[in-house]
Amino acid sequence: MSRFLQRAGRYFLVFEVIVDYAFKILRQKIFGGAKPFISPKDLRGILEELGGSFLKFGQLASVRPDYFPEEYCRELLGLLDDVSPIEPQLLDGIFIKEYGKRPEEVFSKFERKPLSAASFGQVHAAWLAEGEPASPDASQGRKVALKVQRPFVAEDFSMDARFFSFLAWVIGKTGIVKTVDPQKVVRDFIHLTEREMDYLKEAENLTRLREQVARGKLRIKIPKAHLEYTTRRILVMEFIEGQTLKSFYLSNTPPPDASSFFREAIFFELYSFLFEGFFHADPHPANILVLDGGGLGLVDAGIAAEIKISDRKKFARYIKAVAKEDLEAGVKAFLEMVRTPLLEILSEAKTTYPQYWIRIQFMKNIFLKRIKEELDDLMTRWHRASRDGGPIHEKSPMHKFMELFQLAERSGIRMPEAGVLFARTFLSLDVSILALAPTFNIPLAVQEFFEKYPEEFRRLEELPDEEPPYLEPGFDPEWAEIFSSFDLEQKGLERELLAERTSAIMETFE
């Protein structure tokens, strides 16, 4: 019953906020004259009041001035690190629940005013009593950053997730989106966000990313997590001195040595995604620091994702080919990366209906010619705009990936889910690069990345593709047999469906 009341309360809040702002808009239209349908400030207010997942979508919109009006993006940038802080009494309650003490009893000094406040948590400065001091005031101890989770965010997100899952189900049933499975995308979003709310998991993410930086000899600072102080709702980590990239973005001022700065950011994301299979998936301007001594820092590793070896190989081949403007290799890698039902049907038809092989080959050639022409156009425009100057949308890697999704939509191709994660990561990153360093050549930086790491690329190619989990040593034999039978049955059903589709198409030839 209490859970039902919680859900009802959350849905009522969403309804109340929307209705309240609807009346404000109505009054504005009646009495206020010609103004925007909803002002940037009001839109931010709606998202702040709804909180949680709605704030997340506002954050995504804030870094895309190529999709949304600039005045809205600049207002929504505040959602990245400048929303209303946790009330003081609630803040004390969180510490008492996690530590059994108020913050001043846990740390030698605690700054109650947060340094930043975002959708799921806020950051405070504090000082540890033990260890070598890292601040000028040796009596205060070692300075750390505390990330404190807002109360009730997990409960609110759980209820919002039901709404997004239902919406994805509706979209899937209508067939509006064909290039990816909307339910799978929403499930991945829910999974990543649930992990983001577990600060023990984020501490583990920070440790893994620090290890990657060391292996790749990357010039990036990742804060060290203090595991002895970290709980599921409070993360204690090394304090890194610097300014957020957001402050440079708002003042339209490039960071020092901008080309080197952004090259390192691209190298880090590509190295993590392709060669490690585990990467920071949320590099928005408030999570990137311009260090006081120069250089790049990355914080807030709540959203990090793992990528399968097979997907990493295909993406690496495709990205490398596109960066080198190698059309033949690009087309080949693209067709390996995606699922093309038409080519599967034509391949089956060639075996089952050999008498029509000329027509079948003709259809295949037309399809491949179209793919090749569109990829050639995409690659040419990206390189020309990056080399000779052009609009942001032509130089943006994220835009090029969106064009790939559109090409897939037109051609009946299914993109891998990893493509959504990759596009989402560059959605956060490339707008900062192109706004603050408009002459920065992203394709050239990607080429330089592969030139710097030829051995890592070779080792990736040599890695065997992953086996199904039930084939791994130590998996229960009885369950392994059940999963194996299920897989065989699934493949059999897919072959039957492929045969039916092939037969339906070949009937038109007779």
Residue-level pLDDT, tens digit, the chain, 510 residues: 454 445 555 555 555 555 554 555 445 545 555 455 567 777 777 777 776 667 766 766 666 565 567 677 777 777 777 777 888 889 999 999 999 999 999 999 999 999 988 778 899 999 998 654 444 444 456 899 999 998 877 777 777 777 777 777 777 777 665 555 677 767 777 776 777 788 999 999 999 999 999 999 999 999 999 999 999 999 999 999 999 998 898 888 999 999 999 999 999 999 999 999 999 988 888 889 999 878 899 998 888 888 999 999 999 999 999 999 999 999 999 988 887 777 777 777 777 878 777 887 888 888 889 889 999 999 999 999 998 888 877 888 877 877 887 788 777 787 787 877 787 787 778 878 888 998 999 999 999 999 999 999 999 999 998 877 767 777 777 777 777 787 777 777 767 766 776 676 666 666
Do 454 and 339 fall into the same domain? Answer: yes
Do 485 and 390 fall into the same domain? Answer: no
Q: Evaluate whether residue 290 is within a structural domain.
A: yes
Do 448 and 503 fall into the same domain? Answer: no
Do 300 and 337 fall into the same domain? Answer: yes
Q: Evaluate whether residue 142 is within a structural domain.
A: no
The pLDDT, as a whole number, for residue 45 is 77
The pLDDT, as a whole number, for residue 136 is 42
Q: Which residues contact 207 (CB under 8 A, 6 or more apart)?
A: 224, 225
Q: Evaluate whether residue 132 is within a structural domain.
A: no
Dihedral sign for Cα 356, 358, 361, 365, please.
negative
Tokens of 53: 């997942």
The whole-angstrom separation of Cα 11 and Cα 50 is: 10
The whole-angstrom separation of Cα 505 and Cα 347 is: 12
Q: Evaluate whether residue 135 is within a structural domain.
A: no
The whole-angstrom separation of Cα 110 and Cα 104 is: 6
Q: Evaluate whether residue 432 is within a structural domain.
A: yes
Task: Determine contact, residues 365/358, Cβ cutoff 8 Å.
Answer: no
Question: Alpha carbon of 37 to those of 21, 68, 88, 350, 413: distances in Å?
Answer: 11, 14, 36, 56, 37
Do 308 and 456 fall into the same domain? Answer: yes
Do 414 and 446 fall into the same domain? Answer: yes
Task: Determine contact, residues 164/56, Cβ cutoff 8 Å.
Answer: no
The whole-angstrom separation of Cα 402 and Cα 66 is: 13
DSSP classification of residue 107? S
The pLDDT, as a whole number, for residue 16 is 54
Do 462 and 445 fall into the same domain? Answer: yes
Q: What residue numbers bound the domain in which 503 lies?
A: 469-507
Do 450 and 479 fall into the same domain? Answer: no
Count: domains in the chain = 4
Distance of CA 320 to the CA centre of its chain: 21
Do 259 and 172 fall into the same domain? Answer: no
Element (H or E) spanning 387, and its range? helix 357-388
Q: Evaluate whether residue 65 is within a structural domain.
A: yes
The pLDDT, as a whole number, for residue 403 is 83
- On the 0-12 / 13-18 / 19+ scale of CB atoms within 10 A, 285 is buried
Residue that is last in its domain, among 46, 81, 116? 81
- On the 0-12 / 13-18 / 19+ scale of CB atoms within 10 A, 267 is buried
Give the type of residue at 412.
G
